[in-house]
Structure 1
Amino acid sequence: MQIEHVDVLVIGAGPSGSVAAAILRKAGLDVRIVEKMKFPRFVIGESLLPRCMEALDDAGLINAIESKSFQKKYGAKFVKNGAVCDFTFKEQHTTGWTYTWQVQRADFDKTLADATEQMGVKIDYETTVTHIEFNGSDSVTTVVDAKGAEKKIAARFIVDGSGYGRVIPKLFGLDKPSSLLPRKTLFSHIKDLRRSMADEPNRITAVVHQPGTWIWIIPFSTGLTSVGFVGEPSFFEQFDGNPDQRFRAMLESEPHTKERFRDMEFAFEPKTLEAWSASTEKFYGEGFVLTGNVTEFLDPIFSSGVTLATVSSQTAAHLVIKKLKGETVDWEKEYMEPTMQGVNVFRSYVMAWYEGTLDKIFFSKNPNPAIKQQICSVLAGYVWDQSNPFVAQHDTALKRLARTIELTEKINEE
């Protein structure tokens, strides 16, 4: 059987794979991407964060995205029982990007993949990895295309950016349960004829529907808006009928969505996803590194998925370049630790959201402007900025702040 030889094999052509491949290619390496799906393909994770812009810029992909006229995103808004907490990215603690995009991922991911291909990276679509054999850092990967033809690709290193496909963790038994509770979503894209242009469409809105259940509202530049309910599986059991009927009943049950989306047309029948949180035993090994959702996927709230995917790929790609130059790489210190730093900060905020801790902070009567800027930086994806106390002390700072707010408001009421 014929064996093709490349410097680096990247598994997956999504944002994680494209960013890694583009950076590797810019360094002069021969890179090949194998992708199981045919692009464009549907996927959620439609609201980006400013921090991912640095990774996209490093990969040379910003201009390609700009040309597509995706909806610019300048902040994030949280709503509960009519109360509003609005964050604007230009008012954040960390110096960095102050905007990003809200995108239909099918178009966004295809844009990244096409731009990467134009850099000289060949992409084999509809190609499935069936086996990987490592010999030290070198590897031989067996793949099968849509017609059933099999071939082998020899590589000096593998970057697994396969997302939910989780190729290497599944092949080598590295998967482990997530620490987060299993949750479910029902969502669709809606023809948004009643969109307010005053405070939208340049931000994502997260609506607290009831304890443990929330709604995302993500306007696109096309006039469509992505809307989804997220909660524990038991929440969805109270709604009867087909997906269309159940989703319309949910929209009717929430004052913030009731009038805006009543009788609006869905671009597709509402879809369900559940139990998406996942983790893995290790993020690297001899001859490979895992990036993006292959390492760990948390939750849709705070839109951390694409940011963790692109930033981890950015870091991994530069370390692979260093490795292939013959330099020493401390994968634990240079990759595992910073990647887990980002994951752990976001995890603290995800847990604080579902526990109600962030409700007390977001909807407090007299928010502290400096603290709001620090939290805004986290919401912008700057979860590696140790000068921010709400990053450095992410596991305790939110709870302390919530208790302080609760006591202060109680005293003021008395």
Structure 2
Amino acid sequence: MSSLPELPAANVKCHEQPNNQTMMSDNNDFDVTILGGGLAGLTLARQILMERPETQVAVVEKRTFPVDETTCKVGESSVEIGAHYFGEVLKLKKHLTDDQLPKFGLRFFFREPHQGLADGTEVGGSEFFSAPSYQVDRGRLENYLADHAEDMGVTVFGGSKTRSVTLCSECEGADQHEVEFTQQGDTTRIRSRWVVDASGRAAFLKRKLQLSEDIGHDINAAWFRIDANIQVDGWSDDEEWQTLTGKVPRRWLSTNHLMGEGYWVWLIPLATGSTSIGIVADPRIHPLSTFNSLEKSMDWLEAHEPDCFDSLQPHRDKVQDFLAMKNLAKGSRQVFSAERWALVGEAGVFLDPFYSPGSDFIAIGNTMVTKMIMDDLAGRPIDHLAPTLQSIFLTLFQNNLLTYRDQYPLFGNPRIMALKFVWDYAVYWGFPALLYFNDKLTDVGFIQSLSKGIEEIRDMNLQMQDFFRAWFQADPEVNADPAFVDQSEVELMTRLNAELREKLDDAALRKRFGANVGLIRDLMFEITDRVKRTQPSVATTIPEMRPSTNRLCQVFESLNL
């Protein structure tokens, strides 16, 4: 673990007396101040108070609640870690079940220019996976969290703009951080033992401390919502295709990905009846300037995804919002400090929305921050804990980054991507999801006991992502043959997902993790062995070995490999 960066020099006035327009009193002292009352900030406040109800928590938020349910934010689609965090850790399952939508997994469509949606390759499940996930209407969820936060005792300063944060390390002898904000023209200062930045892309602390880091993953995005339920199930009248996922149309409940070289388009249904549509692209192939307005986005969809364009065109008068964003992926050199500050959510890091990891990293980050706060408030030192949890967090982030970096050129190739999905899911369910579901990502000793297996998974993942790129270089043809790769029929996928719901003691969990390392290793050999038979020119450092068990025969046959 490298040493933590020093704070940049700052021109700080420490503990100056407030002027006549600045309010400060004894009841402005808190244990924790959270900058930002969005998804990351409000879930953190809830988690802290569920762990320690007497904790004094303040949330400083620029909006006032309730917010408009149509809120232009990424993060509507959850996957297993985030869904488990919301439903089980935060006890929000009733809200998710009653007021949000169940998610029918991730679904991917590949087509060539002459093909319709049903004529190409589809990858997804015919049944729901065992571990649930949800399509989350962010505005609705954040209103629910804000309403219940005040009931739990959180002090919410709505309609407030953070003006400054003075960390206690900047002032000799200080033992509290100080946050200054304006609210309805008045300036208020509050003090707290902890300050956590959950301000999203405003990234107040990251900017102040100059922690931004280029992670080498350049993607841009534009997204909007339409007040209409756009269902991909109706994009073809082929009855056989329509019934591949059951008698009742339900593809629309998936996070649907329309795939092409250098891009993907999402369609996400929301419980309010709206549909979220987004374009995410590698600027080397599809510059942001080609879709950075609603009109340009529609023109772009007409050119690249005409079925999607045709379904949206009748509803253009129902567009609710639009946002374009450059440089979506963000890194940070530091996210936690033993000096009692932290960055969570997009105020810290953000990867890529492709596999919906945003709420996962909120879950992991918030859980780690809660652990540090609980230990600190209980009088236990965190000098070792903070950098160790940060190392775990950033290791997970960097390993996940491998999944996306320099992979967008492959996105239009169904044979490569269908196998990449199996690989990526296996790594995700077999490693971080398994440990999070068993509440072990903050158990430093347990994580360190798995270090050899974690390092092997990281090395295998690096080799496999290189392999997928090399395969594309050797065989860039799309070949979107009519096929349905049914992930519900891939036994290793259904088993790894179902095993997330099993509660294991330490010995059983260690054994399961070891078995997963072996399975992932075997999967690496099976994929590379099969591909090298048809593409012997693919360059790879992976040794030529036969797998102990063939698990993907059905997938290979569906893809004509």
User: TM-score, normalization: structure 2?
Assistant: 0.64
Moved more, 65-74 or 17-26: 65-74
Per-residue CA deviation, residues 304-356 of structure 1 (Å, 9 max, x unaligned), is 11210122112211221111111122245542122113212321111264142
**1:108–1:257 distance in 2 versus 1, CA, 3 Å:** same
State how far apart, in whole Å, the 2-side matches of 1:12 and 1:114 are. 15
Instruction: Give the whole-Å Cα distance in 1 for the aligned partners of 2:329 and 2:431.
Output: 19
Counterpart check, 1:179 vs 2:209: no
Partner of residue 60, structure 1: 90
Report percent identity of matched pairs.
17
- Does structure 2 retain, via aligned residues, the 8 Å contact 1:141–1:154? yes
Which of these two proteins has the greater Rg computed from alpha carbons? 2
Which residue is equivalent to 2:184?
147
Q: 1:337 to 1:315 in 2, by over 3 A?
A: same
Residue 311 of structure 2 is matched in structure 1 by: 260
> Residues 135 and 244 (structure 1 numbering): CA distance in 2 closer, same or farther, change over 3 Å?
closer
Aligned AA for 1:216? W
Query: Closer, same or farther in 2 for the Cα pair 1:310/1:19, shift >3 Å?
Result: same
Q: Which residue is equivalent to 2:13?
A: none
1:112 alignment counterpart = 145
- Counterpart for residue 217 of structure 1: 267
SS of residue in 2 equivalent to 1:296:
coil
Pair 1:406 & 2:406 matched: no
Q: CA deviation at 1:404?
A: 4.3
**How far 1:170 sits from its partner (Å)?**
1.6
CA distance in 1, matches of 2:421, 2:88: 35
State the distance in 2 between where 1:73 and 1:274 align: 28
Equivalence for 1:299: 352
What are the superposed Cα offsets for residues 133-172 of structure 1, whole Å, 9 maximum, x if unpaired? Answer: 2335832323223322112111111122222121111222
2:391 corresponds to: 337
Q: Which amino acid aligns with 2:58?
A: R
Equivalent residue for 1:15?
A: 39
Residues 88/348 of structure 1: CA separation in 2 closer, same or farther (3 Å cut): farther
- Does 2:256 correspond to 1:205? yes
- Write the distance in 2 (CA, Å) between the matches of 1:83 and 1:300: 22
> Does the alignment pair 1:29 with 2:82?
no
Three-state SS of the structure 2 residue aligned to 1:261 is helix
Structure 2 match to 1:50: 80
- Deviation of 1:292 after TM superposition, in Å, equals 1.8
Secondary structure, aligned partner of 1:113: helix
Deviation of 1:98 after TM superposition, in Å, equals: 1.2
Q: Which residue of 1 aligns with 2:481?
A: none
- Looking at structure 1, the residues matched to 414 and 178 of structure 2 have their Cα atoms a distance apart, in angstroms, of 48
More displaced 10-residue stretch of structure 1: 137-146 or 196-205: 137-146
- Alignment of 1:192 with 2:229, yes or no, is yes
Q: Does 1:397 align with 2:427?
A: no
Q: Which amino acid aligns with 2:266?
A: W
Matched residue type, 1:230 = V
- Partner Cα distance (1:112, 1:7) in 2: 20
User: Does 2:373 align with 1:327?
Assistant: no
What per-residue deviation string (whole Å, max 9, x for no partner) do you get for residues 210-235 of structure 1? x2111111122333221111113462
The amino acid across from 2:369 in the alignment is A
Q: How many residues align?
A: 404
CA gap of 1:222–1:186, structure 2 versus 1, over 3 A, is closer
Match of 2:133 among 100, 121, 125: 100
Q: Secondary structure at the match of 2:37?
A: coil
Worse-matched range after superposition: 257-266 or 293-302: 257-266
Q: CA offset at residue 31 of structure 1?
A: 1.0
Kept in 2, the 8 Å contact 1:192–1:261? The answer is: no
Query: Does the aligned pair in 1 maintain the 2:72–2:321 contact within 8 Å?
Result: no
Aligned to 1:363: 418
Q: Residue 275 in 1 paired to residue 275 in 2?
A: no
**Partner AA of 2:76 in structure 1:** E
Task: Look up the match of 1:5.
Answer: 29
In structure 2, which of residues 393, 400, 419 is the aligned counterpart of residue 346 of structure 1? 400
In 2 relative to 1, CA 117–392 (structure 1 residues): closer, same or farther, beyond 3 Å?
farther
Cα deviation, residue 88, structure 1: 7.5
Question: What do you get for the CA RMSD once the two structures are aligned?
Answer: 3.4
Q: TM (normalized to structure 1)?
A: 0.85
- Which amino acid is the alignment partner of residue 141 of structure 1? E
SS class of match (2:342): strand
Distance 1:383 1:390 in 2: 14
Q: How far has the Cα of 1:10 moved from its partner?
A: 1.4
For 1:260 and 1:272, locate their aligned partners in 2 and report how far apart those are by CA, in whole Å. 21
Structure 1 pair 155–295 and aligned structure 2 pair: CA distance change class (3 A)? same
CA 409–181 in structure 1, closer or farther in 2 if over 3 Å, else same: same
What's 1:377 paired with? 429
> 1:133 aligned to 2:163?
no
Deviation digits for residues 352-401 of structure 1 (CA, Å, limit 9, x no counterpart) = 6414288544335xx998x5861573799668697797667322234445
Counterpart in 2 of 1:94? none
* Amino acid in structure 1 at the alignment position of 2:252: P
Q: Which amino acid aligns with 1:71?
A: L
Q: 1:129 to 1:223 in 2, by over 3 A?
A: closer
Structure having the larger proportion of residues in strand:
1
Q: Which residue of 1 aligns with 2:3?
A: none
Identify if the C-alpha distance between structure 1 residues 272 and 83 changes in structure 2 by more than 3 Å, giving closer, same or farther: same
**Paired residue type of 2:155:** K
Alpha-carbon separation, structure 2, partners of 1:236 and 1:54: 36
Bigger shift: residues 266-275 or 47-56: 266-275
Question: In 2, are the aligned partners of 1:160 and 1:168 still within 8 Å (CA)?
Answer: yes
SS at match of 2:360: helix
Compare the two structures and name the one with the higher helix fraction: 2
